[in-house]
């Protein structure tokens, strides 16, 4: 079997590109075919590091066995067996096995979910396959794939370059070299060249810091350079515990110590005459104290939450962010693609001295007309396109020279391509949306980039590319240099944000003339009004320029220019206006945030007027907002914001709602300002430079479709649909999960308190021989803890969303699960339940019975013990029912069980309903099946005692409602509905 990736050494850097392609049997244009990919996946396996193989069942099993509960249970079993209490020992044994098995499967499933989600969030790669550009999961790369990458991408496999523009790659991970390495295509000669010097190769896991390129994959998985040194470098799988889980663990330890103390108390009460009975009672108390189900339920609830979020298009990378989401007070969002559709269409152009043009047509379909509007008012501009009074259609042939240049810049200073999918008939834009819009425009007049750069009849293309200085959100412009076949000259084209382009211009094209610009701000005065007009119609405005340029000769590069050499002395030709409609759901989502006490900020690279127009459309600023001296300045440019000192920012009444012309540093400044105001901020980002702000935000959110790998790796959450509405849904889900965790913590812990109270006070009952009579048996306690309370607690974790969730202000980040209210609830409900069940025991024995506690009634049934056994049955039945029904109390901390209507009813959480129903039903066999009742549970069935139990249940329900009523009357309201008026503009 020929296996190019395993032949050592691999001198691909010494092969020229044709040899490489031949050896790997691939096509540089079209890539591999699907069939080849399948064969190679079989041959070489997936592109992943071995040893990073996901969830280990053994680890999960170990965690199940080595926990405090299992240890306590094993001790109980050992004691039972040594005391020859075979039945009890066996029951405990069965409990251990069932508990471990159920726990194992639940946790294994949860871990699997998490693992597959981690994989979903893992990097993707772009490759050419079957002649199309495809996005695939990086672990599906195979040798021979044609890899396409650009600034911000993490390279998925080792590859031999065959195309590159200004490509620089950060290889510090591999070689320790701290500076990015510039790459070339040249074939090297020395087969033993060190890795770091093989500059015509790129390596798996390194990051592109500049430029773009294409390469043929030469090695994947463990064969790649990183694979060879992989083990030490494999990222930790990110399963570190969250804050919440850690605090739960801590609480677990504390309770364990408490359980030991209670054990000592039991021994002390029995004057340290430690019989098996006494030991088992002590252990029962331990079982009662420790909320066994808690950690499992937390994990399960989180896993379920993460799963449902993934379904809703938000992939959680860091579990911690799930907790933070519920506290988010401010969301800082990008505009393009997040609040807007990113389906950009160029609709307007402005040529100095000539006036406006309207471009008709929809979407990416390259059909439409260019209509001359001339110099018109702002109002008419807004109406243009919908009116048919303008009929001056222009085509390429009768276009003036400046408009022709505008078409040329649009077409050539552009890396996007337009494809026609023959099967669906749809037009697809591949590349940057802004550039796609310009490409569509150029294609509409028959001057798309392919037409200009493909060879003509004379064997030469009209234009051939020499250099490219790509767009990035810091410089906000892009330039290219071409050779113009007709004149034989080099020509540079530039496009970008107006302020960034006019600074590079020294001339302006008016008609066939070029006028020199005398003063620095002359140009901005000439076109400032038009930029404002276009932008205030919500259009993204780009300025276009060009110039003929002399080659800069250097020895190694015949046509070599630095960015500075190209981007000066340009000739300004015109403006283009691109419309990017807001997403339909953005406005509603922003308003939903306002109702939920969350402020939305838009941080965009766009012009302030464009930003303000879109912000108005989606309700981020009021429709009638105008800047005034008195009110807060809601729309700022990054320049204005950056010029403020921290103190000045802190003195602002309100942080700006919109920051235009925003650069990545401004985002960081904004987050810091929010943090100084004690706000919890979510921040979106897509570019490489966004990583710092994504990292310091409380919740960093990366765009899954438009985002770079670097941004994704710096983020906590990745949105697979890049949609603002998804963020809002995730916040809602975060709030729901946290509230549910609080609910089941309350349920489980108050159950435990009730058992402890019953058992500790129960130590006071002594029989005729002075021995303690236990009001509950160990098996009863096990049953209560494992069978009665865990299922409803789990179901509380699934409690559906309460529509009021997004009408309340965000939860304070400092208040963890255990707020004062929750602690008091645990104690009050716990005491109430424990007290009532003990009262059942007391009433049955002393109230209605003759007070005879028999003799040695802890282990075996006898006629003399009948009363005690019945009393135990009553106490147990009462507590079972109370714990089950208490789950309904826990659905809301303050609202009555039955209210508010329309929000929930007894059946709206079906698992909860059924767990309670079945839990109650289980009482029957446990009480009435002979032998099971007296020998295992150590209780007897009930007759008239049911009346006592029933009354206790009613008392509990009434007392709980009274307690909630008192809380509602006396405590500060926890539901402050955010004012609707204030919410929507
Ligand atoms: P947001 O931050 O809201 O998502 P954005 O990311 O689109 O907005 P940038 O991409 O930073 O913002 O764009 C800022 C400005 O740069 C735009 O208003 C436009 O003038 C200019 N611009 C955008 N894309 C290009 C491009 N491909 N070539 C040249 N200039 C561009």
Could you read off the pLDDT of 930-947 as tens digits, one per residue? 988 888 888 989 889 999
Please report the pLDDT score of residue 118 as a whole number. 59
> Does ligand 1 come within 6 angstroms of the Cβ of 435?
yes
The reply to whether ligand 1 has any atom less than 6 angstroms from the CB of 432 is yes
**Which residue has better confidence, 977 or 752?**
752
Is there a cis peptide before residue 900, judged by omega within 30 degrees of 0?
Answer: yes
Q: What are phi and psi of 495, to 5 degrees?
A: -145, 155
Say yes or no: CB of residue 605 within 6 Å of ligand 1.
yes
Nearest in space to 262 (alpha carbons), one of 289, 225, 222, 240: 289
Question: Which pLDDT score is estimated for 89?
Answer: 80
Q: Whose CA is nearest to atom 18 of ligand 1?
A: 606
User: Is 334 among the residues known to form the active site?
Assistant: yes
Domain boundaries, the chain: 246-308+736-970, 314-339+583-722, 345-579
- Active-site hit among 85, 334, 690, 709: 334
Q: What is the CATH number of domain 345-579?
A: 3.40.1110.10
Substitution site in 409, 436, 497 for ligand 1 pocket (most atoms within 8 Å of beta carbon): 497
Q: Is the pLDDT of residue 758 over 70?
A: yes
3-state secondary structure of 50: coil
Residue 687 alpha carbon, nearest atom of ligand 1? 6
Task: Give the lowest-confidence range in 233-237, 679-683, 697-701.
Answer: 233-237
Question: How far, in whole angstroms, is CA 847 from its chain's centroid?
Answer: 60
Between CA 780 and CA 755 the distance in angstroms is 10
CB distance 364 to ligand 1 below 6 Å: no
Question: Quick one: 314-339+583-722 is in which CATH superfamily?
Answer: HAD superfamily/HAD-like (3.40.50.1000)
Q: Which residue has the higher pLDDT, 298 or 733?
A: 733
Q: Check pocket membership of 468 for ligand 1, CB cut-off 6 A.
A: no
Give the pLDDT score at 668.
93
Mention every residue, 6+ apart, whose C-beta is less than 8 A from residue 179: none
414 Cβ inside 6 Å of ligand 1 = no
Residue of higher predicted confidence among 903 and 568? 568
Task: Give the tens place of pLDDT for each residue, 34-63.
Answer: 999 999 999 888 887 665 456 678 887 887
Do the beta carbons of residue 710 and residue 207 sit within 8 Å?
yes
Question: Three-state SS string across 614-663, please?
Answer: HHHHCCCCCCCCCCCCCCCCCEEEHHHHHHCCHHHHHHCCCCCCEEECCC
Give residue 963's pLDDT band: very low, low, confident or very high (50, 70, 90).
very high
556 sits in which H/E element:
none
Ligand 1 in contact with 493 (CB < 6 A)? no
Position 1 scores a pLDDT of 35
DSSP label at 508? Answer: E
Residue 22 CA from chain centroid, whole number: 42
Mutation to probe ligand 1, out of 334, 413, 435, 476 (largest number of atoms < 8 A from CB): 476
Query: Region 626-631: what's the mean pLDDT?
Result: 71
Residue with the larger pLDDT of the pair 299 and 511: 511
* Whether pLDDT at 767 is above 90: no
259 confidence band (pLDDT: 50, 70, 90): confident
Q: Which residues pair with 636 in a beta bridge?
A: 659
Give mean pLDDT, residues 227-234. Answer: 57
Pairing of strands 513-516, 505-510: antiparallel
Q: Could you tell me if 147 and 197 are in contact, meaning their C-beta atoms sit under 8 angstroms apart?
A: no
Query: For residue 239, what pLDDT is reported?
Result: 46
The pair of structure tokens assigned to 37 is: 């990919």
Ligand 1 centre and the CA of 610: distance in Å?
12
782 vs 118: which has the higher pLDDT: 782
> Atom 14 (ligand 1): residue with closest C-alpha?
605
Asked whether the beta carbons of 546 and 492 are under 8 A apart, the reply is: yes
Best residue among 339, 346, 433, 434 to mutate for probing ligand 1's pocket (most ligand atoms within 8 Å of CB) is 434
pLDDT reported for residue 250? 78
Task: Give the mean model confidence (pLDDT) for residues 109-123.
Answer: 66
- Residues of the chain with pLDDT > 70, as a percent, come to 91
512: confidence class by pLDDT, cuts 50, 70, 90: confident
Dig out the tokens for 814 from the structure.
């400092």
Q: What is the distance, to the nearest Å, from the Cα of residue 688 to the centroid of all Cα atoms in its chain?
A: 18
Q: Is 4 helix (H, G, I), strand (E, B) or coil?
A: coil
User: Does 233 score more than 50 pLDDT?
Assistant: no
What percent of the chain stands above pLDDT 90? Answer: 37
Q: What number of other Cβ atoms are within 10 A of residue 481's Cβ?
A: 22
Q: How confident is the model at residue 167 (pLDDT cuts 50, 70, 90)?
A: confident
Question: Which of the following CATH numbers is that of domain 246-308+736-970: 3.30.830.10, 1.20.1110.10, 1.10.3720.10, 3.40.630.10?
Answer: 1.20.1110.10
Residue 159: φ, ψ to 5°: -145, 150
Among 296-310, 374-388, 465-479, the minimum mean pLDDT is found in 374-388
> 334 in ligand 1 pocket by Cβ < 6 Å?
yes
pLDDT band at 7 (very low <50, low <70, confident <90, very high): very low
Ligand 1 atom with the shortest distance to the CA of 663: 11
Asked if 359 and 347 count as a contact pair (C-beta separation under 8 A), the reply is yes
Q: Which of 519, 514, 494 is nearest to 504 (CA)?
A: 494
Of residues 884 and 174, the one with the higher pLDDT is 884
Bigger pLDDT: 763 vs 434: 434
- pLDDT higher than 90, residue 573: yes
Q: State residue 825's pLDDT score.
A: 95
């Amino acid at each position: 079997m020929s296996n190019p990736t395993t032949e050592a050494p691999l001198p691909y850097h010494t092969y020229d590109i044709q040899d490489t392609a031949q050896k790997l049997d691939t096509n540089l244009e079209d890539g591999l075919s699907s069939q080849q990919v399948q064969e190679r996946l079989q041959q070489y396996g997936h592109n992943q590091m071995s040893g990073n193989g996901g969830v280990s069942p053994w680890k999960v099993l170990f965690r199940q066995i080595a926990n405090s509960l299992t240890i306590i249970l094993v001790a109980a079993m050992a004691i039972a067996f040594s005391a020859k209490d075979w039945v009890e020992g066996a029951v405990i044994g069965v409990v251990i096995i069932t508990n471990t098995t159920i726990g194992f499967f639940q946790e294994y499933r949860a871990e699997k979910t998490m693992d597959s989600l981690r994989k979903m969030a893992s990097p993707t790669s772009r490759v050419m396959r079957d002649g199309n550009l495809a996005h695939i999961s990086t672990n599906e790369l195979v040798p021979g794939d044609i890899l396409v990458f650009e600034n911000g991408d993490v390279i998925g496999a080792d590859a031999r370059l065959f195309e590159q523009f200004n490509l620089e790659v950060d290889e510090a991970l591999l070689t320790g070299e701290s500076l990015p390495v510039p790459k070339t295509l040249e074939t090297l000669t020395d087969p033993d060249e060190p890795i770091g010097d093989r500059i015509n190769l790129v390596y798996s896991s390194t990051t592109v810091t500049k430029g773009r390129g294409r390469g043929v994959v030469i090695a994947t998985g463990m064969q790649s350079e990183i694979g060879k040194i992989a083990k030490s470098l494999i990222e930790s799988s990110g399963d570190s515990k969250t804050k919440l889980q850690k605090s739960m663990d801590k609480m677990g330890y504390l309770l364990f110590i408490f359980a030991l103390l209670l054990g000592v108390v039991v021994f002390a009460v029995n004057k340290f005459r430690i019989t098996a009975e006494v030991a088992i009672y002590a252990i029962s108390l331990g079982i009662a104290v420790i909320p066994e189900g808690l950690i499992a339920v937390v994990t399960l609830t989180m896993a379920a939450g993460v799963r449902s979020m993934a379904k809703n298009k938000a992939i959680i990378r860091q579990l911690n962010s799930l907790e933070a989401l519920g506290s988010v007070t401010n969301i800082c969002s990008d505009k393009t693609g997040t609040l807007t559709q990113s389906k950009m269409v160029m609709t307007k152009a402005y040529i100095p001295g000539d006036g406006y043009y309207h471009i008709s047509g929809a979407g990416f379909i390259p059909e439409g007309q260019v209509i001359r509007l001339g110099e018109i008012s702002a109002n008419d501009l807004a109406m243009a396109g919908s009116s048919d009074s303008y009929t001056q259609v222009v085509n390429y042939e009768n276009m003036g020279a400046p408009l022709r240049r505008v078409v040329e810049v649009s077409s050539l200073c552009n890396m996007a391509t337009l494809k026609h999918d023959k099967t669906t008939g749809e037009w697809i834009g591949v590349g940057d949306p802004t550039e796609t819009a310009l490409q569509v425009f150029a294609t509409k007049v028959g001057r798309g980039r392919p037409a200009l750069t493909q060879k003509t009849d004379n064997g030469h293309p009209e234009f051939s590319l020499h250099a490219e200085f790509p767009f990035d959100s810091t410089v906000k412009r892009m330039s290219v240099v071409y050779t113009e076949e007709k004149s034989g000259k080099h020509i540079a084209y530039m496009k970008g944000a107006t302020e960034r382009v006019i600074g590079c211009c020294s001339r302006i094209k008016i008609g066939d003339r070029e006028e020199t610009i005398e003063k620095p701000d002359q140009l901005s005065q000439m076109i400032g009004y038009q930029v404002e007009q276009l932008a205030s119609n919500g259009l993204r405005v780009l300025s276009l320029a060009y110039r003929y340029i002399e080659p800069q000769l250097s020895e190694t590069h015949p046509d070599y220019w630095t960015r500075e050499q190209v981007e000066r002395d340009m000739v300004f030709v015109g403006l283009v206006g691109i419309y990017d409609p807001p997403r339909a759901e953005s406005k509603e989502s922003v308003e939903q945030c306002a109702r939920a006490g969350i402020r939305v900020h838009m941080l965009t690279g766009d012009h302030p007027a464009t930003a303000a127009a879109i912000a108005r459309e989606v309700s981020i600023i009021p429709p009638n907002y105008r800047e005034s001296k008195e009110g807060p300045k809601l729309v700022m440019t990054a320049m204005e914001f950056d010029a403020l000192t921290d103190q000045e920012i802190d003195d602002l009444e309100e942080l700006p709602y919109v920051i235009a012309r925003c650069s990545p540093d401004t985002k960081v400044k904004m987050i810091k300002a929010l943090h100084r105001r004690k706000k919890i901020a979510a921040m979106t980002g897509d570019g490489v430079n966004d990583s710092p702000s994504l990292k310091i935000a409380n919740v960093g959110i990366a765009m899954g479709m438009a985002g770079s790998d670097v941004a994704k790796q710096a983020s906590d959450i990745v949105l697979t649909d890049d949609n603002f509405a998804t963020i809002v849904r995730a916040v809602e889900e975060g709030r729901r999960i946290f509230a549910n965790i609080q609910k089941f913590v309350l349920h489980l812990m108050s159950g435990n308190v009730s058992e402890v109270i019953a058992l500790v006070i129960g130590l006071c009952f002594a029989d005729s021989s002075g021995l303690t009579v236990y009001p509950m048996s160990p098996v009863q306690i096990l049953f209560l803890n494992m069978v009665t309370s865990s299922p409803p607690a789990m179901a509380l974790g699934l409690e559906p969303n309460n529509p009021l969730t997004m009408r309340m202000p965000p939860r304070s980040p400092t208040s963890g699960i255990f707020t004062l209210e929750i602690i008091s609830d645990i104690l009050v409900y716990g005491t109430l339940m424990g007290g009532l069940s003990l009262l059942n025991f007391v009433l049955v024995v002393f109230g209605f019975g003759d007070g005879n506690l028999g003799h040695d009634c802890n282990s075996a049934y006898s006629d003399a013990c009948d009363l005690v056994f019945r009393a135990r049955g009553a106490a147990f039945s009462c507590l079972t029912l109370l714990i089950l029904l208490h789950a309904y109390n826990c659905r809301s901390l303050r609202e009555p069980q039955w209210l508010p209507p329309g929000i929930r009813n007894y059946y709206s959480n079906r698992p909860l309903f059924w767990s309670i129903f079945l839990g109650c039903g289980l009482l029957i066999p446990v009480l009435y099946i002979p032998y099971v009742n007296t020998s295992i549970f150590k209780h007897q069935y009930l007759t008239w005692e049911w009346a006592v139990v029933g009354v206790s249940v009613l008392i509990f329900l009434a007392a709980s409602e009274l307690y909630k009523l008192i809380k509602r009357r006396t405590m500060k309201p926890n539901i402050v509905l955010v004012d609707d008026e204030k919410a929507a503009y």
